[in-house]
Amino acid sequence: MSAYDDDNIFAKILRGEMPCHRVYEDDHTLAFMDIMPRADGHFLVIPKAPVRNILDADDTVVANVYATVAKLSRVALKAFSADGVTIQQFNEPAGGQVVFHMHVHVIPRFDGVRLGPHTGDMADSAVLERNAEKLKSAL
Ligand code: 5GP
């Protein structure tokens, strides 16, 4: 497995060098909208610790990330009046990972609505901002 690379896009978001539509932040985690959402309201939760994925993260980092995932899943259900939530997390290229800073996908779901493609179309920035605001209002 390769070493953690400080130049990955999520490390740049954490350092404030790249913009994002921020949803939530605490001492250990940050949540922001996915720019290529698989469904309306799709966002990501990342640790602030520099870890590549679940394979090099220690248990505390995993626990912190998944505590935020659980908290924000309940928030997402409320914010979008969703019927369910899909949680996804990819590890290494063979596992489908594209960005090599650990992250968990939280995707609001509706009965009968299929999931869109992984890394499909880029969403309109205004739509991402509106959805981030909906999530923040439901916190
Ligand atoms: P994964 O590594 O989980 O397979 O895929 C990376 C995810 O990050 C994709 O869902 C993709 O849409 C998202 N993504 C890639 N680049 C950016 C970016 O610059 N900003 C944000 N907010 N999301 C990104």
What would the pLDDT profile of 104-128 be if each residue is shown by its tens digit?
999 999 999 999 999 889 999 999 9
Residue 1 has pLDDT above 90, yes or no: no
Q: Which of 13, 30, 35 to mutate to test the pocket of ligand 1 (most atoms within 8 A of CB)?
A: 35
pLDDT for the residue numbered 139: 97
Of 21, 42, 103, 105, which residue is the catalytic one? Answer: 103
41 Cβ contact partners less than 8 Å away, ≥ 6 residues apart: 76, 79, 80, 82, 107, 108, 131, 134, 135
Assess whether the C-beta atom of 9 lies below 6 angstroms from ligand 1.
yes
Residue 75's region, left for phi above 0, alpha for psi from -120 to 50, else beta, is alpha
The atom of ligand 1 lying closest to the CA of 37 is 12
For CA atoms 48, 108, 139, 128, the dihedral sign is positive
Which is the closest atom of ligand 1 to the Cα of 33? 22
pLDDT of residue 119: 87
> Which residues lie across from 36 on neighbouring strands?
none
* 118 a catalytic residue: no
Q: For residue range 52-108, what is the model confidence (pLDDT) as tens digits? A: 999 999 999 999 999 999 999 999 999 999 999 999 999 999 999 999 999 999 999
Q: Which CATH superfamily is domain 9-138 in?
A: HIT-like (3.30.428.10)
Is the CB of residue 32 below 6 angstroms from any atom belonging to ligand 1? yes
0.85 surpassed by pTM: yes
Question: How many whole angstroms from 137 Cα to the centroid of ligand 1?
Answer: 24
**Residue ranges of domains in the chain:** 9-138
Residue 130 reports pLDDT greater than 90: yes
Please give the Cα distance from 110 to 93 (Å, whole number).
29
